[in-house]
Chain A
């Protein structure tokens, strides 16, 4: 069975500085990987996904993630944080049956 570990429960950055949210996965099959964002009192919105094409995936709002099979990682990055990026971020792994397993989430705080 597949699983995902988000290495930080909380990340705090200053506005304008880079963001790094870390995610490691475990899967016995070639996984699909997703990052979703959840703003307070809102549903989950897809940021980006990897499905075995290019290993560097670009998403919405300037986010991107790189699939590294050798490290079983799918870290989310953004060059410059904006106040509106403050939210909860979920890394998700799914197998060939699209059984999605969510990480515990990383809360991103952006300081002015």
Chain B
């Protein structure tokens, strides 16, 4: 158990809908990272927050957004969902804003199915 929690575990929704995925980092970690894992694209970095501020952006679509709250939990919002958004979404956390070689600890993921 990494200490990173994600809810819900599974989510089934329809195209065009909006969902929110939630992540609580390990105690003491200030950075939260979001990743998408799909069969065709593999594991891709979406976005990072550090202590409430956006720190780095990866391959995140404009339909997706995220935020980190004062208690350090983070939410990933996915809107206007398409079939291709079906994937496993991981959250990871670390202590620093992104020091070289720092370990990221991953949560169990949220499996999203868009029908």
User: Do A and B share a complex?
Assistant: yes
**Measuring CB to CB, which residues of chain A are less than 8 angstroms from any residue of chain B?**
32, 34, 36, 42-46, 49, 51-52, 90, 94-105
CA distance A97 to B98 in the complex (A): 6
| Interface: B52 (CB within 8 A) | no
Question: Shortest distance in angstroms between A99's beta carbon and chain B's nearest beta carbon?
Answer: 7
Among A34, A43, A51, A52, point to the contact of B90 (Cβ < 8 A).
Answer: A43
**Measuring CB to CB, which residues of chain B are less than 8 angstroms from any residue of chain A?**
2, 4, 42-45, 56, 58, 90, 92, 94, 98-109
Q: Are A43 and B102 in contact (CB under 8 A)?
A: no
Chain B neighbourhood of A46, CB < 8 A? 103, 105
Q: Are B109 and A43 in contact (CB under 8 A)?
A: yes
Q: Are B104 and A45 in contact (CB under 8 A)?
A: no
Question: Shortest distance in angstroms between B58's beta carbon and chain A's nearest beta carbon?
Answer: 8
Q: Are B100 and A32 in contact (CB under 8 A)?
A: yes
Q: Are A100 and B100 in contact (CB under 8 A)?
A: no
Q: Are A90 and B90 in contact (CB under 8 A)?
A: no
Among B4, B56, B92, B109, point to the contact of A99 (Cβ < 8 A).
Answer: B56
Chain A neighbourhood of B98, CB < 8 A? 97-99
Chain B neighbourhood of A100, CB < 8 A? 45, 104
Name 14 A/B residue pairs within 8 A (Cβ), A-sorted.
A42-B108, A43-B2, A43-B90, A44-B92, A46-B103, A49-B103, A90-B43, A94-B100, A98-B99, A98-B100, A98-B102, A99-B45, A103-B42, A105-B43
Question: Residue on B with the closest CB to A98?
Answer: B98
Q: Are B42 and A105 in contact (CB under 8 A)?
A: yes
Question: Shortest distance in angstroms between A61's beta carbon and chain B's nearest beta carbon?
Answer: 16
Which of B56, B104, B109 is packed against the most chain A CB atoms within 10 Å? B104
Question: Residue on B with the closest CB to A30?
Answer: B100
Chain A neighbourhood of B94, CB < 8 A? 98
Q: Are B106 and A32 in contact (CB under 8 A)?
A: no
Q: Are B100 and A96 in contact (CB under 8 A)?
A: yes
Chain B neighbourhood of A101, CB < 8 A? 45
CA distance A19 to B42 in the complex (A): 23
CA distance A36 to B90 in the complex (A): 14
Q: Are A32 and B101 in contact (CB under 8 A)?
A: yes
Chain B neighbourhood of A45, CB < 8 A? 2, 106
